[in-house]
Amino acid sequence: MRLRLPLRVLSLLLLAALPSFAEDAHNTLTDAEKAAGWQLLFDGSSLKGWHAIGATDAAGTGWSAKDGELRLRLPQPGGEKTAHKDLLTDADFSDFELTWEWNIAAGGNSGVKYNLPDKTKAVGCEYQMIDDDKHPDAKVPGGSHKTAALYDILPPTDAKVKPAGEWNQSRILVKGNHVEQYLNGGKTAEFDFGSDALKELIAKSKFKSTKGWGEKIASPILLQDHGNEVTFRDIKLRPSTP
């Protein structure tokens, strides 16, 4: 006798038998990525390769590695409560392609910084990550504080941002003096270090008196602790040729 199962039941059984590729794929590199020179900046289980600003490791901060995610959590609920310990890579990078996924809490604010003129200070080019709907900083006129902006310099274009609580994918490309920022596949900012156009924008920004801001330099990658909860995963980088 042939056993006939309803199509829906059969589909559920087949799905249950499949491996969870989506979960297993996080914080890993394919053979093709390895051959192309990609490296993981976050291994999915530890803070190896990272340290808090002004320290040699990440001890005493709100950062942790858990369930394949690099998390910043508040020690108590209710806003700006952390010790404001930004996290930096141990290594410096100059020309690179950087990709990562991130999830910001409702009303949250964070960012990824690069090209820091002073490694002891959390000041540099910032890829803004913020809840555009609920955080007041995103409402600053001109749009240069919105998600995927070059913070306080360039407002984002083609910013296909997903709302707080959902995963976004971001990318930064630094090649020679040319820089591009992306969000969920769309280019949001583009500029050149040392250009007259960038110098004019810097002169109108909060960085106008910051020595070396906007000049090309090798520096760590920085994850910002702005006192709000944020989660990262799949942080990958490969050196690029100028």
Considering only CA atoms, which of 60, 44, 42, 41 is closest in space to residue 52?
60
pLDDT per residue rounded down to tens, the chain (242 residues): 455 555 554 444 444 443 333 445 899 999 999 999 999 999 999 999 999 998 999 988 889 999 999 999 875 455 544 566 899 999 999 999 999 999 999 999 999 999 999 999 999 999 999 999 999 999 999 999 999 999 999 999 988 999 999 999 999 999 999 999 999 999 999 999 999 999 999 999 999 999 999 999 999 999 999 989 999 999 999 998 87
Instruction: Quick: pLDDT tens for 164-176.
Output: 999 999 999 999 9
Q: Please, where are the H alpha helices in 86-220?
A: 196-203
User: Residue 233 has which token pair?
Assistant: 């995963």
Considering only CA atoms, which of 86, 88, 64 is closest in space to residue 75?
64
Phi, psi of 218, deg, nearest 5: -80, 135
| pLDDT, position 61 | 87
CA distance 192 to 13: 54
DSSP, collapsed to helix, strand or coil, labels residue 120 as coil
| pLDDT, position 13 | 45
pTM of the model: 0.87
| pLDDT, position 242 | 79
Contact 107, 131 (CB under 8 A): yes
13 CB neighbour count, 10 Å cutoff: 10
Instruction: Quick: pLDDT tens for 34-63.
Output: 999 999 999 999 999 999 998 999 988 889
CA distance 35 to 174: 20
